[in-house]
Chain A
C-alpha cells in the first residue's frame, strides 16, 4: 500500500523520497478455525510533506486504497485498517 500511496502523493506533487514516507504494519495471525491465517493488518503511515499540502495529502490518503493491487487482492479476505500522521515541513 505504501507504493500506491507514494504514487498518489507524487501525482499531487508531494515528494515521497528520500525518507518522507514510511509505514509501520502489524499483521495479526490467529487460528479462528484451527488453521493459522492473517486476520487483520493495521498500518500506520508517517508522512513528511511540504507546508500547505496537507489537504492534498489527506485526499490521497482517502482514495489510494481503491487503486492498490494488494489491498484489492486481499479485499474480503483480510481486514486492512490504516491511520496516519503528517508532518508539514518548510521546504
Chain B
C-alpha cells in the first residue's frame, strides 16, 4: 500500500458536556467544540459556555 500524503493526528478531550477540546498535530492551542443557536435549541440544552459546533467547523473548513 502506498504511503499517504499526510496523516492528520488529533486528540479530543471531553470537557463538561457538551464541550470538547481538540488538539491538532503539534499545535498548542486547542479548538473548542460545543453548541449554540439552532443546534442548542435542537438538543434543548443550555450550556454554561457556548462554542461553535463540529458542523460549524465542517462548514468553515469547506469555506476556508
Interface residues on A, range: 20 to 34
Q: What is the interface of chain A mostly: helix, strand, loop, or mixed?
A: mixed
B8 engages A26 (CB within 8 Å): yes
Distance in Å from the Cβ of B41 to the closest Cβ of chain A? 14
Q: How far is the CA of A28 from the CA of B33 in the complex (A)?
A: 22
Q: How far is the CA of A16 from the CA of B16 in the complex (A)?
A: 8
B residues 5-50 near A (Cβ < 8 Å) are 5-18, 20, 33
Q: How far is the CA of A20 from the CA of B16 in the complex (A)?
A: 10
Q: Of B6, B7, B17, which one neighbours A3 at CB under 8 angstroms?
A: B17
Neighbouring A residues of B15 by C-beta, 8 Å: 17-18
Interface residues of chain B, those whose CB is within 8 Å of chain A, are 2, 4-18, 20, 33, 53-55, 58
Nearest 9 A-B pairs (CB), nearest first?
A27-B8, A21-B14, A29-B6, A23-B12, A25-B10, A30-B4, A2-B12, A16-B14, A28-B4
